[in-house]
Amino acid sequence: MSAGEDQLIGWLRRRLQRLGSDLLGDDAALLEERADWAISVDQQIEGVHFPPGLDPGVAGRRLVSVCLSDLAASGAEPAYGFLTVALPRRYDAKRLLTGVLTACRRYGVTLAGGDTASAPRGVSLTMTVLGRRRPRCRWLRRSHGRPGDGLWLGGPVGESALGRHLLAAGASFDGRSVTLPRRHRAPERWLRYGRRAVRRHLDPRPQLELGGTLARRRRVAAVDISDGLAIDLHRLCRESGVGADLEREAIPVSGGLEYWASALEIDPDQLMLAGGEDYVLLFTLPPRGRPADAASRRIGTLTERPGVRLGAGDEAVLLPPRGWDHLAKDRT
Amino acid sequence: MSAGEDQLIGWLRRRLQRLGSDLLGDDAALLEERADWAISVDQQIEGVHFPPGLDPGVAGRRLVSVCLSDLAASGAEPAYGFLTVALPRRYDAKRLLTGVLTACRRYGVTLAGGDTASAPRGVSLTMTVLGRRRPRCRWLRRSHGRPGDGLWLGGPVGESALGRHLLAAGASFDGRSVTLPRRHRAPERWLRYGRRAVRRHLDPRPQLELGGTLARRRRVAAVDISDGLAIDLHRLCRESGVGADLEREAIPVSGGLEYWASALEIDPDQLMLAGGEDYVLLFTLPPRGRPADAASRRIGTLTERPGVRLGAGDEAVLLPPRGWDHLAKDRT
């Protein structure tokens, strides 16, 4: 640890003390709180998970949100976070930490420890989060699905991947407003959808409230859509030992997805089924169950027969884990 | 996550299932175990914390050991580990994971979760560990020191930094034996010390047993020597609101340190006071207290007067946090 890193930790600690939470004094954070814990860890690497040059505050917020999405999928209530950062020398570390602290405060996370290092090459961020099991609640588990259960999605999919494509095409986000690439001239309505997609990609919101509501029920399977609807559904099915029938038309997509997919020459089904990073919950409910929230949509049914089928009757095709591109390849 | 990463996690999960511990099925690890937890996180970055090209198995073991040293300094008993890795495409990930699992088994850690990503640039590893408070034990805390307490060191310091210098000079370690740079011709006794220093640097052993023994006592302050005796002692003093008198001659150093420091033209005091990465415990005991183990040495006394003094009487000099090099500069 360099003198600069010690200074940075001093700065962070004074900020945490002002918030009334200083757990940074020892080699380890010491938690004397009797609870059942859900623990998850995620990393964000510049050039892999977010575009190089992204505003450090946005990168910090994104790290926290992505990590908390795993707690949402467990039904847990966020409690503590541990942060490690490896940063190039001239990186604005305070801006990054301010982003992390802002997101922590928003979701009720106490930053309880971490580690800093200088990185010769690029930004690398890792976060570990602990969430409590809520009172009178159960864990959501991938293995809780049963044949006949309804399959639900907590929000539209594909929008985040669209945002990723727009960023690759030159869009940018400074933490407040999105600028789209100049060559995309379109009616304001479509531009608005495009800007929302970029924001959704860089500043996703973990569905903690939905997870908490579902955790009050007796038996809910859940997973968050991080790698894509197809592969995450396959994972849920594998852990539950079931298959699934998926209704193509029932899958919620955000406004403008078709328009932008066409403008960028991407298959919209590819965005929807394999895009990933949507951070909405995919969950199951017993056959007649309905979630309390208005945004969730039923998109299919779990089946005894293994495999994930897309479409009905003779039209149905097996959806491989990797989504539409692999499927398309398999069909030709 | 790529197909390769899914495969890798599948391989890891089968290995963990054979060990009877599979917590990898859900988005988060779900721990329903009532305990007080010490939680710490550490990272190891190629080119920063370990030399490029280091055997992946050695890198994996080192990550676990370094991280557990923080639990040793808390007196905790290792329980769970969470691993994130960012690896270049051709890196031997299975060899790395085997190293991690070997160290986890050695120290009683159950690998309970993690995340993998491909890294465009260099290996980056992060580990979070949870340790239980042992039955009828207290936490060791940096803030537990009082004026008059004896200051103790759990083993020699400076050897790891010597090993780092030998590696920079061309030494290598394949996980079993150390090869020293050819130009260092010396009697076998000195070569043996040199090889041991390299091994100590790359394969440190966290003092978990010592930490556990100390945790049975009423009030022990402790910190592990990760950044250097001088700075880590300053940290302990700051948290306890005390100063310290340090006896230069009492500080244990390993055999061959003077010989090798001279051969490599390094100030041996610099290695000892500011070398770091020794991962031995620096701890306090009430004035007449003695530790149960034979390896620990008393190296000084905590004082009401702030600041860390090296030497006695008129000869005493103030030791700044950054160690001997800064001190030397301050004196000229």
Structural domain spans, chain A: 3-132, 142-331
Q: In this complex, is the C-beta atom of A188 within 8 Å of any C-beta atom belonging to chain B?
A: no
Among A4-18, A117-131, A180-194, B288-302, which is the least confidently predicted range?
A: A4-18
Q: Which residue has the tokens 């020892």?
A: A26
- Rounded (to 5) percent helix, strand, coil in chain B: 35, 25, 40
Dump the DSSP string for B27-58.
SSEEE-----EEEEEEEEEBTTTB-TT--HHH
Give B229-240 pLDDT, tens digit per residue: 999 999 999 999
What's the CATH number for A3-132? 3.30.1330.10
Measured between alpha carbons, how far apart are the two ends of chain B, in Å? 56
Interface confidence, given as ipTM, is: 0.90
- Between helix A188-202 and helix A159-168 the angle, nearest 10°, is 100
State how far the Cα of B139 lies from the Cα of A30, in Å rounded to an integer.
Answer: 8
Between chain A and chain B, the number of residue pairs with CB atoms below 8 A apart is: 192
Residues of A in contact with B25 (CB under 8 A): 141-143, 239
Mean pLDDT of chain A: 90
| Whether the domain at B3-132 and the domain at B142-331 fall into the same CATH topology | no
pLDDT in the model for residue A161: 96
What is the DSSP-derived secondary structure letter of residue A134? Answer: P
- Residue B314 CB contacts under 8 Å (≥ 6 apart), including other chains: none
Give B77-109 pLDDT, tens digit per residue: 999 999 999 999 889 999 999 999 999 999 999
pTM confidence score? 0.92
Alpha helices in B73-158 (DSSP H): 93-107
Give B243-292 pLDDT, tens digit per residue: 999 999 999 999 899 999 999 999 999 999 999 999 999 999 999 999 88
pLDDT in the model for residue A326: 40
CB-based contact B43:A86 (threshold 8 Å): yes
Question: From the candidates B2, B9, B26, which should be mutated to test the interface with A, based on the most A CB atoms within 10 A?
Answer: B26
Q: In this complex, is the C-beta atom of A109 within 8 Å of any C-beta atom belonging to chain B?
A: no
Q: In this complex, is the C-beta atom of A80 within 8 Å of any C-beta atom belonging to chain B?
A: yes
CB-based contact A35:B130 (threshold 8 Å): no
Give B125-146 pLDDT, tens digit per residue: 999 999 999 999 999 999 999 9
Residues of B in contact with A74 (CB under 8 A): 26-28, 30
Q: Which of A217, A67, A157 is nearest to B115 (CA)?
A: A67
Please tell me which of the candidates B6, B32, B43 has its beta carbon nearest to residue A117: B43
Q: Provide the CB-side half-sphere exposure for A5 (13 A, CA).
A: 17
Q: Which of B217, B223, B200 is nearest to B62 (CA)?
A: B200
**Cross-chain Cβ contact A41/B115 below 8 Å:** yes
Take residue A114 and report the two structure tokens written for it: 């971490």
Give B14-48 pLDDT, tens digit per residue: 888 777 666 777 888 888 888 899 999 999 999 98
Per-window interface: A 225-264 vs B, CB < 8 A: 226-227, 231, 239
State how far the Cα of B287 lies from the Cα of B152, in Å rounded to an integer.
Answer: 11
**Cross-chain Cβ contact B39/A112 below 8 Å:** yes
Strand partners, B244: B302, B308
Domain A142-331: CATH class, spelled out? alpha beta
State how far the Cα of A95 lies from the Cα of A99, in Å rounded to an integer.
Answer: 6
